């Protein structure tokens, strides 16, 4: 099925039942065809792709591009030019962009340390927000984001796209409503890749094409090194959140979704920088996380950033284990149901982009599967649907990753409150619930 055909079919019907129509900025409500005008913050890689996907959707237009690096801006404008007639206006400073009244929503696809602060600022400016995972760099700012979305009555959806994938939605119904696996008590996810060492960064003058101060934004200031921008910030704690929030977010989100669990009671982590221990990579490249939940349920995740040997035949995915059998997902919009004797009793394959690499760093499943999630966001703004991943959902999955990082960095077993995920009886670990911000950048709801 083609992407545009799917978005026009009854597959999206009924999602808006009972939804209160939200307030639009006047421009968006009265524009021809109920057009939604979007700003995109961060267009070097993932944001570049999301901008293209959004621009191709009916009734959507990219009005603004926000980035702090000239090369990224050029890439973003070129990509969007192939998807729409209007040339977006470039505004490098997000604070200046959010002063504009003539756009409806902001897509945030920056480095991780910007996700929550930008989303919080956008809701206060009256914008709806689509924020890439993880929705927060630390749990504290994630909670501020929840409060901001509620206070300003804005829709905020996280980029955990699998919540909108049709086959996985079908699989959830089979597991939760039809009870095909019986009680599901254990889930396991994984991600592997073959990332190269990043070396020892050299302190050099900031390129004239980059606003390094604005790139750092809310993060405490650090010297510019030649091995940070554009990608290796992922592995530095000041800006990144490890492979856990970079990729485990997706599988852990699916496992939470299928298993009906919210906040854990216990979190453990083991791992470290093992593959190339003599470079600037600070976060683990090898890690196993374990979470326990009320109701005798547990989840595990294994990540190997620098060793590409597939698990269960795929570079990423998850498996559910229940009383009556198992469900296997190989990273895309597909699944197998397997009985207790190991026999495959049902297999559903991904319809679009079946050969897309599930470890592709820009889009693991391809355009169709990003478009359906963005379209759900846009249709929810219009009042025709409900978010498939309202920010409370995205935050809970992000929190598992962040708790795993805290357990790893402190070397502690974390016992947590199942009502909110807060760390119990460990003041040292709880200090990492928040972070320090550059003066003047502390986020507020």
**How many Å apart are CA 203 and CA 126, to the nearest integer?**
40
Residues 53, 146 share a domain: yes
Of 187 and 353, more confident: 187
Q: Considering the domain boundaries, does residue 355 fall inside one? A: yes
Segment 141-156 mean pLDDT: 98
Q: Does 183 lie in the same domain as 122?
A: no
Question: What's the Cα-to-Cα distance from 312 to each of 172, 178, 360, rounded to whole Å?
Answer: 21, 26, 18
How far CA 247 is from CA of 10, 101, 237, in Å, comes to: 31, 34, 16
- Note the pLDDT of residue 6: 43
Q: What is the mean pLDDT of residues 47-75?
A: 96
Shared-domain flag, residues 190 and 143: no
With a CB cutoff of 8 Å and minimum separation 6, the contacts of 68 are 92, 210, 211, 214, 215
Nearest CA-CA partner of 131 in 393, 418, 426: 393
Between 15 and 137, name the one with better pLDDT: 137
pLDDT in tens, 119-146: 999 999 999 999 999 999 999 999 999 9
| The pLDDT of residue 24 is above 80 | no
Q: What is the pTM of this model?
A: 0.91
384 domain-assigned: no
How many Å apart are CA 227 and CA 198, to the nearest integer? 7
Res 233 pLDDT > 70: yes
Mean pLDDT, to the nearest integer, of 374-398?
97
- Count of CA atoms in the C-beta half-sphere (13 A) of 373: 28
| 290 and 216 within one domain | yes
CB-CB neighbours of 213 under 10 Å: 12
385 found inside a domain: no
Considering the domain architecture, whether residues 333 and 347 belong to the same structural domain is answered as yes
Residue 25 pLDDT greater than 90, yes or no: no
CATH number of residue 289's parent domain: 3.30.360.10
**329 bridge partner residues:** 318
Structure tokens at 62: 């990219």
Q: How many domains does the chain have?
A: 2
Q: Answer whether 404's CB lies under 8 Å from 269's CB.
A: yes
The answer on 155 and 24 residing in a single domain is: yes
pLDDT of 351 > 90? The answer is: no
Same-domain status, 308 and 426: yes
> Rounded to an integer, what distance in angstroms lies between the CA atom of residue 385 and that of residue 13?
8
Q: Is residue 404 part of a domain?
A: yes
What's the order of all strands across the beta sheet hosting 60-66? 89-90, 60-66, 36-41, 105-108, 128-131, 156-158
CATH code where residue 155 lies: 3.40.50.720
| Residue 379, in any domain of the structure | no
Structural domain contains residue 253: yes
Is 361's pLDDT higher than 80? Answer: no
pLDDT of residue 110: 98
pLDDT at 363 over 70: no
Asked, for residue 178, whether it belongs to a domain, the answer is: yes
Residue-range definition of the domain harbouring residue 37:
3-162
| pLDDT digit string, tens, across residues 277-321 | 999 999 999 999 999 999 999 999 999 999 999 999 999 999 999
| Lowest mean pLDDT, pick from 176-180, 270-274, 368-372 | 368-372
Q: Is residue 18 located within the same domain as residue 77?
A: yes
Is residue 63 a part of any domain in this protein? yes
Contact criterion met (CB below 8 Å) for 189 and 251:
yes
- Edge-to-edge strand order for the sheet containing 266-272? 344-348, 335-338, 325-329, 316-322, 184-192, 297-304, 286-293, 266-272, 414-415
**In which band, very low, low, confident or very high, does the pLDDT at 354 lie, cut at 50, 70 and 90?**
low
- 19 and 57 housed in the same domain: yes
Both 179 and 260 in one domain: the answer is yes
The percentage of residues in the chain with a pLDDT greater than 90, rounded to a whole number, is 88
- pLDDT at position 366 over 50: yes
Can you tell me the mean pLDDT for 433-440?
98
CB 321 within 8 A of CB 185: yes
For residues 98 and 121, membership in a common domain is answered with: yes
118 plus 214 within the same structural domain: no
């Amino acid at each position: 099925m083609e992407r545009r055909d799917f978005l026009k079919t009854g597959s999206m019907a009924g999602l808006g039942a009972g939804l209160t129509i939200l307030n639009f900025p006047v421009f968006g409500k009265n524009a021809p065809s109920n057009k939604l005008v979007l700003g995109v913050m961060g267009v070097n890689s993932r944001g570049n792709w999301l901008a293209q996907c959004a621009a191709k959707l009916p009734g959507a237009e990219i009005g603004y591009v926000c980035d702090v690096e000239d090369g990224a801006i050029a890439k973003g404008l070129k990509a969007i030019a192939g998807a729409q007639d209007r040339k977006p206006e470039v505004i490098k400073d997000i604070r200046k962009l959010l002063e504009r009244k003539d756009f409806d929503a902001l897509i945030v696809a920056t480095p991780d340390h910007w996700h929550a602060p930008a989303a919080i600022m956008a809701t206060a400016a009256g914008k709806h927000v689509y924020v890439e995972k993880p929705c927060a760099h630390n749990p504290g700012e994630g909670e501020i984001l929840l409060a901001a979305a509620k206070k300003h009555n804005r829709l905020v959806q996280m980029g955990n796209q699998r919540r909108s994938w049709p086959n996985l939605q079908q699989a959830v119904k089979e597991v939760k409503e039809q009870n095909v696996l019986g009680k599901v008590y254990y889930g396991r996810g994984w991600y592997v890749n073959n990332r190269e060492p990043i070396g020892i960064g050299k302190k050099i003058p900031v390129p004239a094409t980059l606003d390094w101060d604005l790139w750092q934004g809310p993060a405490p200031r650090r010297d510019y090194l030649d091995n940070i921008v554009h990608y290796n910030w992922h592995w530095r704690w000041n800006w990144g959140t490890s492979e856990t929030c970079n990729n485990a977010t997706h599988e852990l989100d699916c496992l939470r979704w299928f298993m009906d669990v919210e906040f854990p009671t216990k979190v453990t982590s083991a791992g470290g920088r093992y593959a190339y221990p003599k470079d600037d990579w600070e976060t683990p490249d090898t890690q196993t996380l374990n979470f326990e939940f009320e109701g005798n349920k547990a989840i595990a995740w294994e990540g190997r950033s620098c060793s590409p040997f597939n698990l269960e035949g795929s570079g990423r995915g998850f498996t559910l284990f229940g009383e009556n059998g198992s469900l296997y997902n190989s990273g895309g919009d597909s699944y197998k149901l397997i009985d207790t004797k190991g026999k495959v009793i049902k297999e559903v394959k991904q319809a679009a982009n079946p050969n897309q690499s599930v470890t592709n760093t820009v889009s693991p499943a391809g355009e169709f599967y990003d478009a359906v999630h963005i379209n759900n966001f846009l249709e929810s703004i219009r009042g025709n649907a409900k978010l498939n991943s309202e920010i409370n959902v995205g935050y809970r999955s992000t929190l598992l990753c962040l708790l795993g990082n805290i357990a790893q960095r402190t070397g502690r077993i974390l016992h947590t409150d199942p009502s909110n995920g807060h760390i119990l009886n460990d003041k040292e670990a709880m200090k990492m619930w928040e972070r320090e911000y550059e003066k003047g950048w502390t986020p507020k709801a």
